[in-house]
Structures are given as structure tokens and as C-alpha cells.
Amino acid sequence: MSAKILISACLLGRPVRYDGKGKPLDHPAIARWKAQGRLVGFCPEQAGGLPTPRPPAEIEGGLSGEDVLSGRGRVIEVTGGDVTAAFIAGAEQAVAYAKAQGCPFALLIDGSLSCGSGFLYDGRFSGGTHAGEGVTAALLRRAGVAVFSDREIAQLEALLPQ
Ligand code: SF4
């Protein structure tokens, strides 16, 4: 049985992003893994109960997903709503789904405050970014899932058992 990869659903083109769109990743490895049945799509924000479309949200104060999981940070919508609980619930469901589907790897879109694994937006809705990981990426890593961003497909390919 081939090792499976949990993948951000928006990278498969599913219209799950805050703006109601997908963000399909066109890469030969994605096509190959899809044909092999290795890709398991999942959207933590939808799983956490958030609607689509939904207001953009960022983590307050330039903090990271690990801060949110530890109770030190909040996820706030641009409209002012506190959606911290939904983001944590989505992350917990992502971990449960990865385990249930047998995914030791995850390929997640960077920059998302759920799925980001290298950088995040800085909480001021100004387009500024900082290094850090999102809530789901952080919880998956805590659970032992190896997380790669959409810019790290070559590194994932190198590790993947054939
Ligand atoms: Fe895509 Fe992840 Fe955002 Fe869902 S939570 S839209 S899968 S980046």
C-alpha cells in the first residue's frame, strides 16, 4: 500500500477557500500521486464549521498556530469575529482524518493560517508576513505527520516510499 498524503483541498482545485475559490496546483507529481490514489484532500476551516465564502482571518499580534493551540493567541476575522475555536476544531479533525486515512505526510498550501507551514500573515490585514506555521500544520507536526508546503514538492518526492 502506497503511503498517503493529506493535501489542502484547495490545492486540488476544490472551491473551499475564504473567497469561494480553489487554488489548483499544476505539477507532474500531483498528477502522478492523484493517479496512484495517494492524495487525501481536506479543508480544516470547512471541517471546523466555517462557511464558504468566509471573511479573511489572521492570528492576532503576529503570533503563530502553536500560540493558538497553547491558548496564547486568537484567530480574528477582518470583521472582528473570534474564530479561534473553529480553527482549533478544524486542526483536530485534520489530525484525526490523517490518522484514519493512514497519511504520514501532508502537503499544505503555505501562508494560510490553518495550512501554512513556513510563513503566515502578520495579523494586521496589511499583506505583511512573518515566519511561522498555521494552526493545522502545527497540530499535524505535534502528531508526528511530516508537513511540506506547496513549495517543497521535491523534498516530499525525495522522502516518499515508491
Ligand atoms: Fe485551503 Fe487549508 Fe485554507 Fe482550507 S484551510 S482553504 S485547505 S488553505
Tens-place pLDDT, residues 64-104: 999 999 999 999 999 999 999 999 999 999 999 999 999 99
Looking at the chain, how many residues does it have? 162
- Between the CA of residue 9 and those of 44, 72, 108, 136, what are the distances in Å? 9, 28, 9, 13
Rounded-to-integer distance, Cα 60 and Cα 101, Å: 33
Q: 133 is in which domain, residue-wise?
A: 5-159
Distances (CA, A) of 119 to 65, 108, 112, 159: 11, 12, 8, 22
Closest residue by CA, ligand 1 atom 1: 10
H helical segments located in the chain:
28-35, 44-47, 65-69, 84-101, 135-142, 153-159
Instruction: State which amino acid sits at residue 121.
Output: Y
Which atom of ligand 1 is closest in space to residue 9's alpha carbon?
7
Number of compact structural domains in the chain: 1
Could you give the ipTM of this predicted complex? Answer: 0.99
Q: Output the ligand 1 site: residues, CB below 6 A.
A: 8-10, 16-17, 43-45, 109, 112, 114-115
Confidence band of 2 (pLDDT split at 50, 70, 90): confident
What ligand 1 atom has the least distance to the C-alpha of 45? 5
Nearest CA to ligand 1 atom 6: 17
Question: Considering the entire predicted model, what is its pTM?
Answer: 0.97
Distances (CA, A) of 139 to 42, 60, 96, 117: 14, 18, 11, 11
